[in-house]
Amino acid sequence: MQVVVYPDPVLRRGGKEVTEFTPDLKALADRMFAAMYQEGGVGLAAPQVAIELKLLVLNPEGNTKDRSGERVLCNPKITRKKGREWGEEGCLSFPGIHAEVERWQKITVTYRDLDGTEQSLDTEGWLARIIQHEMDHLDGVLFVDRLSPADRLRVRGTLAELESRASR
């Protein structure tokens, strides 16, 4: 399973609601975790592996030594949010780019787990940031869309490099 890199248009398509909570969905989540760990990420959204579903996986530890923080969120929605905070982010679909993004500091997110059971999670800080970053992917929104004007200028060259690599 390959992680899709900018400017692949699939990244702009986002995902559709998950309606079937089958063993296939579990197998897909497992493959996404494997791809995420292989690339050294802390989160991965289905559109990043060219699958148009509202499904994301994450582990704030970012490695297989501690898998206790693994979560799979289907059809996530933020139902409460509080405070704004800037913090550094990267993205497996944007190799070589790290930049500050403003996110909600505290969120409540409701979602379905792999069994289709509705779950609710109150969280803040790093985990809240990962969830918001990955949720953006489900809507075709990318973190570079949210950069400050100064950072947008700073990363322009790297974006152009990714674009020219894709057209080669």
Mind telling me the catalytic residues? 134
Looking at the Cβ atoms of 21 and 37, the one nearer to Zn ion is 37
Decide: is 11 part of the binding site for Zn ion (CB under 5 A). no
Half-sphere exposure of 51 (CA within 13 A, CB side): 19
What would you report as the CA-atom Rg of the chain, rounded to the nearest whole angstrom? Answer: 15
Among 36, 49, 91, 130, binds Zn ion (CB under 5 A): 91
Q: Is 128 in the site for Zn ion (CB under 5 A)?
A: no
Select the span of 50-58, 86-94, 95-103, 122-130 touching Zn ion (CB under 5 A): 86-94
| Residue nearest Zn ion, Cβ-based | 91
**Near Zn ion by CB under 5 A, which window of 59-67, 83-91, 120-128, 154-162?**
83-91
Our finding on whether 107 is near Zn ion (CB under 5 A) is no
Given the complex with Zn ion, which of 91 and 127 has the nearer CB atom?
Answer: 91
Rounded to whole angstroms, the Cα distance separating 135 from 78 reads: 9
Residue 7 preceded by cis peptide, ω within 30: yes
> Could you give the CA distance from residue 13 to residue 51 in angstroms, rounded to a whole number?
10
Give the separation between CA 148 and CA 87, rounded to whole angstroms: 12
Residue 67's CB is within 10 A of a number of other CB atoms, namely 11
Judged by beta carbon, residue 25 or residue 99, the one nearer Zn ion is 99
Interface residues with Zn ion (CB under 5 A) are 91
